[in-house]
């Protein structure tokens, strides 16, 4: 299929990053969507989103208790096992409590490479927070320049903003195509793409997306109407096992997702006039928040309800990583708000990779049956 | 009275009675606020309470309430209720208890008084942000968030500016909600009292440098309540002076908290509220005294950043650089400094499922401490309020084995 090359990349992320490095590219690992890729790209480096190992855990358990999410554990394992040694540096943003501690533990135990903490504001709805955010991004850029031994010009920043905007635009288009004609693109492919976007060379991503859009986009007229079994995936997890496929196998149809590694990636393009750093800051401020951030009390619920209506979803399936506090805190409220608009929901607590066994499948099937 | 009960009497801390009295009146005051026309603010334990006191707002601490729920062994029931409401059983048990409690006015004191405002400072965790959002929706009342950037390795100039500006925003928020101007002179006075209270609290904790130690960390867990809830008042200052006198008296008379103190241990993380007595007896039976802890000392650990002549200015730094808002290595340095100061020969870590910012990183702190000081560590897996996560037999076995190891080490 179209994404063969991406499949190889996703299956062997460290091999891919190693090859880039051999070609002389600097590689910077980062842990969450609140790290501005634009700045890393502008500094001539390749941003690699860390999503945790798919191999077994051997070393991370010596540093983390059992009640820590699989993403944090998986990322640390990649560091401790030496796989992460291809990274020239890592960036940890301020998100959840677990990521804060991951940053410390990585800094103390994984040697080599630079280590940057991007201590973003948690509040995103005040003037002082915006000023602080801009300050922090500026400092981040100068830290990156020092660490990578480069000087970044405004033209570099503009070019990288154009590139990431193009990826956002194409991803959005692909989501729209699939929304209109779900049969054109398997959920598994979308999932693959969402993972690849954080790992592969971004120019390769643009190329692949352009081809895919050109191939699939020919006939885009038919619209999906609201259907009981149209599913909106939500939870915006930092890393997502392939739940698209599971929903399809259980008889549902994923029409959209609100994952951090998915439908939320392309929300809000960057403004291209004015100061690029301010534009990056403003995008973070205006994008619907991740539950680790605060922007009013109803932001996420409003977003989710609107998204469900707009995409004709009959139900929402929340997918949370076990031990993920921020998402777990929001769930009862989001569920209640969706119910008020007649949208039922189901919560799946998972790990990444998914544990073997049929439990999740059974729960999904039972839920979908109920939607008849 | 025989000699045994005599000795027991002698060991009882007399100030306890006074403390219970103060806390009872404090809660009566808080619970009748609507009748007396006072405003009530719910605030996080690490939150900036002084401006509230200066504005005559009664501060109420859901976390202190959580501790009371835990100590009254009502945590499980409330946590289960929260789980029935859809909250994951893996979330902080203070938050779960409080969220459930608000809907039924349950718990040992029939719930907390309804808040007129919420003040959330995220210097202790991200949990409080989510928890206070939930309560702000539930009570439909204004929420102020003091966002204190995490200090992994430093407190940046940008962060300082940001927090400082928020202190002004906080004052404006209070003026809006209370509909009256902020009194800066009063604030200066409250600030001085706060610092004096913190110094006295530190002095109380430091009496355990003596051998035998006149009190244990378990006592500190109890006497902590005032520095948390009434910081910035004369009452807290008076109380800690009284307690300090009593501790000094015990030191003079050689009264130890534990019979024949043989081992001195340092406690890390929150107390296990529903088992404090059990644990205290258990360690005492081995002649082990928990002489200090990282938890109760957190309420005076920022003293070095505070300026009593300019409280408002120094507040930004003091409230940002607290124990839980710093990197694991700085936490380890703090632990080592405490081991040295209090002459501890072992470390007891409560790996607390409820509190990720406190607990994740403990394994690294353990290794650093063992490497730097050769001090052995016991890890107890539990939870501060949710008794379902306390495996008594297993924990008892681990404590016994640890103490036997200490004994063998001592005689070797
Ligand atoms: S999945 Fe949740 S707990 Fe894990 S890193 Fe992301 S926000 Fe933090
Ligand atoms: S126990 Fe930990 S997670 Fe819970 S409120 Fe306190 S600091 Fe936050």
CATH number reported for the structural domain that contains residue A120 in this entry: 3.40.50.11890
User: Of A311 and B7, which is predicted with more confidence?
Assistant: A311
Residue A181 lies in a domain: no
Quick check: A180 pLDDT over 60? yes
Whether residue B327 and residue A135 make contact (CB cut-off 8 A), yes or no, is no
Q: What is the model's pTM?
A: 0.96
- Residues A208, A6 contacting (CB under 8 angstroms): yes
Q: Identify the burial level of B407 via C-beta atoms within 10 angstroms of its C-beta, where 0-12 means exposed, 13-18 middle and 19 or more buried.
A: middle
User: Of B326 and A261, which is predicted with more confidence?
Assistant: B326
Q: Which pLDDT value is given to residue A54?
A: 75
Residue A317 lies in a domain: no
Enumerate residues 92 to 151 of chain B having a beta carbon within 8 A of any beta carbon in chain A: 92, 95, 122, 125-127, 129-131, 133-134, 136-137, 143, 145, 147, 149-151
d(CA A334, CA B216): 45
Whether residue B357 and residue A322 make contact (CB cut-off 8 A), yes or no, is no
Please name which ligand lies nearest the alpha carbon of A74: 1
How confident is residue A223, by pLDDT bands cut at 50, 70 and 90? low
Q: DSSP labels for A319-336?
A: EEETT-HHHHHHHHHHHH
CATH of B3-182, one of 3.30.70.260, 3.30.460.10, 3.40.50.11890, 1.10.1740.10: 3.40.50.11890
Nearest to B270 by CA among B64, B129, B97: B64
* CB < 8 Å & 24+ apart, contacts of A296-299: A296/A125, A297/B133, A297/B136, A297/B137, A297/B143, A298/B137
3-class secondary-structure state, position A274: coil
pLDDT tens digits, one per residue of A317-359 = 999 999 999 999 999 999 999 999 999 999 999 887 777 667 8
How confident is residue A238, by pLDDT bands cut at 50, 70 and 90? low
Which one of B130, B153, B160, B325 would you mutate to disrupt binding with A, by most A Cβ within 10 Å of its Cβ? B130
Q: Which pLDDT value is given to residue A174?
A: 93
Q: Which pLDDT value is given to residue B264?
A: 98
Q: Which pLDDT value is given to residue B3?
A: 66
Domain count of the fold of chain A: 1
Structural domain of A67: 4-148
C-alpha of residue B277 to centroid of ligand 1, in Å: 35
Phi, psi of A11 (to 5 degrees): -75, -25
Q: Identify the burial level of A322 via C-beta atoms within 10 angstroms of its C-beta, where 0-12 means exposed, 13-18 middle and 19 or more buried.
A: middle
d(CA B99, CA B85): 9
Neighbours of A352 (CB within 10 A): 24
Residue A62: its chain B contacts at CB < 8 A?
A: 363
Q: Please, which residues bridge with residue A234 across strands? A: A318
Nearest to A92 by CA among A125, A49, A132, A129: A49
Q: Which pLDDT value is given to residue B22?
A: 96
Report the residue from B149, B360, B381 with minimal CB separation from A68: B360
Which residues contact residue B367 at a Cβ distance below 8 angstroms, ignoring those fewer than 6 apart? none
Q: Which pLDDT value is given to residue A224?
A: 62
d(CA A192, CA A11): 10
Spell out the domain ranges in chain B.
3-182
pLDDT tens digits, one per residue of A104-141 = 999 999 998 999 999 999 999 999 999 999 999 999 99
- DSSP H helix total and E strand total for chain B: 19, 8
Q: Which pLDDT value is given to residue A353?
A: 75
Nearest to B268 by CA among B295, B241, B290, B305: B295
User: Hey, CA dihedral for A226, A230, A235, A240, is it positive or negative?
Assistant: negative
d(CA B173, CA B12): 44
Whether residue A122 and residue B122 make contact (CB cut-off 8 A), yes or no, is yes
Task: Please state the separation of Cα B286 from the chain's center in Å.
Answer: 26
Phi, psi of B83 (to 5 degrees): -65, -35
H or E element, residue B40: strand B40-43
Task: Please state the separation of Cα B125 from the chain's center in Å.
Answer: 14
Q: Which pLDDT value is given to residue A239?
A: 65
Lowest mean pLDDT among A263-272, A292-301, A304-313, A349-358: A349-358
Nearest to B292 by CA among B402, B375, B393, B230: B375
Q: In Å, how far are A179, B265, B280 from B286, measured between CA atoms?
A: 68, 12, 10
pLDDT tens digits, one per residue of A131-168 = 999 999 999 999 999 999 999 999 999 999 999 999 99
3-class secondary-structure state, position A261: coil
What separation, in Å, do the N-terminal and C-terminal C-alpha atoms of chain B show? 40
What ipTM was predicted for this assembly? 0.96
Which residues contact residue A357 at a Cβ distance below 8 angstroms, ignoring those fewer than 6 apart? none
Q: Kindly give the pairing relationship between strand B263-268 and strand B288-293.
A: parallel
B363 touches chain A (CB under 8 A): yes
Which mutation among A64, A72, A349 tests ligand 1's pocket best, with the greatest number of atoms within 8 A of CB? A72
Residue A110 lies in a domain: yes
- Ligand 1 site residues, Cβ closer than 6 angstroms: A 69, 71-72, 95-96, 98-99, 237-238, 292, 321, 324-327
Q: DSSP labels for A119-138?
A: ---SB-SSHHHHHHHHHHHH
Whether residue A325 and residue B156 make contact (CB cut-off 8 A), yes or no, is no
Residue A284 lies in a domain: no
Whether residue A94 and residue B150 make contact (CB cut-off 8 A), yes or no, is yes
Q: What is the mean pLDDT of each run of 10 residues along chain B (412 residues)?
A: 71 92 94 93 96 97 94 96 97 97 91 96 97 98 98 96 98 98 96 96 98 97 94 97 98 95 97 97 97 94 90 93 96 98 97 97 98 97 97 97 92 60
Q: Please, which residues bridge with residue B145 across strands? A: B120
Nearest to B333 by CA among B292, B290, B364: B364
Q: Please, which residues bridge with residue A359 across strands? A: none
What separation, in Å, do the N-terminal and C-terminal C-alpha atoms of chain A show? 33
Q: Which pLDDT value is given to residue B334?
A: 97
How confident is residue A191, by pLDDT bands cut at 50, 70 and 90? confident
SS3 string, A199-249, reads CCCHHHHHHHHHHHHHHHCCCCCCCCCCEEEEEEEECCCCCCCCHHHHHHH
The dihedral over CA atoms of A252, A253, A259, A261, expressed in degrees to the nearest 10, equals 120
Please name which ligand lies nearest the alpha carbon of A72: 1
């Amino acid at each position: 299929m179209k994404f063969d090359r991406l499949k190889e990349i996703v299956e062997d992320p460290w091999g891919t990053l190693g090859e880039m490095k051999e070609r002389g590219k600097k590689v910077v690992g980062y842990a969450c969507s609140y790290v501005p890729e634009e700045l890393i790209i502008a500094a001539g480096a390749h941003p690699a989103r860390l999503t945790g190992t798919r191999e077994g855990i051997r070393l991370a358990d010596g540093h983390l208790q059992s009640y820590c999410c699989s993403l944090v554990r998986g990322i640390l394992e990649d560091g401790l096992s030496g796989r992460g040694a291809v990274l020239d540096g890592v960036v940890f943003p301020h998100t959840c409590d677990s990521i804060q501690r991951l940053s410390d533990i990585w800094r103390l135990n994984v040697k080599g490479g630079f280590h940057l903490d991007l201590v973003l504001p948690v509040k995103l709805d005040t003037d002082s927070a915006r000023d602080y955010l801009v300050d922090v991004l500026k400092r981040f850029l100068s830290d990156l320049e020092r660490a990578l031994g480069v000087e970044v010009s405004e033209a570099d920043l503009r070019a990288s903003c154009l590139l990431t905007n193009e990826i956002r635009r194409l991803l959005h288009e692909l989501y729209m195509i699939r929304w209109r004609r779900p049969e054109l693109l398997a959920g598994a492919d979308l999932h693959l793409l969402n993972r690849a976007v954080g790992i592969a060379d971004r120019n390769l991503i643009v190329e692949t997306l352009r081809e895919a859009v050109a191939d699939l986009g020919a006939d885009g007229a038919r619209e999906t109407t609201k259907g009981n079994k149209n599913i909106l995936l939500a939870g915006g997890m930092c890393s997502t096992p392939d739940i698209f496929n599971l929903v399809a196998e259980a008889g549902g149809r994923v029409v959209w997702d609100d994952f951090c590694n998915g439908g939320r990636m392309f929300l809000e393009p960057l403004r291209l006039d004015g100061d690029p750093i301010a534009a990056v800051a403003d995008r973070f401020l205006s994008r619907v928040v991740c539950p680790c951030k605060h922007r009013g009390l109803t932001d996420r619920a409003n977003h989710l309800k609107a998204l469900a209506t707009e995409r004709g979803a009959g139900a929402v399936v929340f997918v949370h990583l076990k031990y993920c506090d921020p998402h777990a805190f929001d769930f009862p409220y989001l569920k209640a708000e969706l119910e008020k608009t007649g949208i039922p929901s189901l919560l799946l607590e998972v790990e990444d990779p998914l544990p073997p066994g049929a439990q999740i499948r059974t729960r999904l099937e039972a839920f979908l049956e109920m939607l008849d | 009275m025989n000699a045994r009960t005599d000795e027991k009497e002698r060991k009882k801390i007399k100030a306890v009675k006074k403390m219970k009295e103060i806390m009872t009146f404090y809660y009566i005051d808080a619970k009748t606020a609507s009748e007396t026309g006072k405003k009530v603010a719910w605030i996080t334990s690490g939150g900036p309470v002084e401006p509230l006191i200066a504005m005559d707002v009664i501060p109420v601490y859901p976390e202190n309430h959580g501790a009371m729920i835990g100590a009254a062994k009502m945590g499980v029931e409330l946590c289960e209720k929260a789980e029935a409401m859809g909250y994951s059983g893996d979330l902080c048990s203070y938050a779960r208890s409080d969220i459930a409690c608000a809907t039924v006015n349950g718990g040992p004191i029939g719930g907390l008084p309804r808040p007129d405002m919420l003040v959330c400072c995220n210097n202790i965790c991200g949990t409080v942000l989510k928890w206070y959002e939930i309560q702000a929706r539930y009570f439909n009342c204004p929420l102020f968030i003091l966002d204190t950037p995490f200090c992994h390795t430093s407190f940046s100039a940008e962060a300082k500016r940001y927090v400082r500006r928020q202190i002004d925003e906080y004052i404006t928020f209070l003026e809006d909600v209370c509909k009256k101007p902020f009194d800066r002179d009063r604030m200066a006075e409250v600030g001085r009292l706060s610092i004096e209270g913190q110094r006295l609290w530190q002095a109380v904790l430091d009496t355990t440098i003596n051998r035998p130690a006149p009190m244990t960390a378990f006592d500190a867990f109890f006497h902590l309540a005032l520095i948390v809830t009434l910081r910035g008042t004369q009452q807290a200052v008076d109380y800690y002076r009284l307690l300090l006198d009593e501790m000094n008296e015990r030191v003079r008379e050689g009264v130890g908290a534990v019979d024949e103190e043989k081992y001195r241990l340092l406690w890390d993380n929150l107390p296990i509220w529903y088992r404090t007595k059990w644990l205290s007896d258990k360690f005492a039976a081995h002649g082990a005294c928990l002489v200090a802890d990282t938890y109760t000392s957190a309420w005076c650990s920022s003293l070095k950043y505070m300026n009593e002549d300019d409280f408002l200015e120094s507040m930004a730094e003091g409230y940002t650089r607290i124990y839980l808002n710093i990197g694991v290595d700085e936490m380890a340095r703090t632990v080592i400094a405490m081991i040295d100061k209090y002459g501890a020969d072992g470390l007891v870590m409560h790996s607390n499922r409820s509190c990720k910012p406190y607990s994740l990183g403990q394994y690294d702190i353990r290794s650093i401490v063992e490497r730097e000081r050769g001090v052995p560590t016991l890890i107890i897996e539990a939870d501060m309020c949710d008794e379902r996560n306390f495996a008594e037999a297993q924990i008892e076995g681990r404590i016994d084995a640890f103490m036997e190891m200490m004994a063998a080490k001592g005689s070797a």
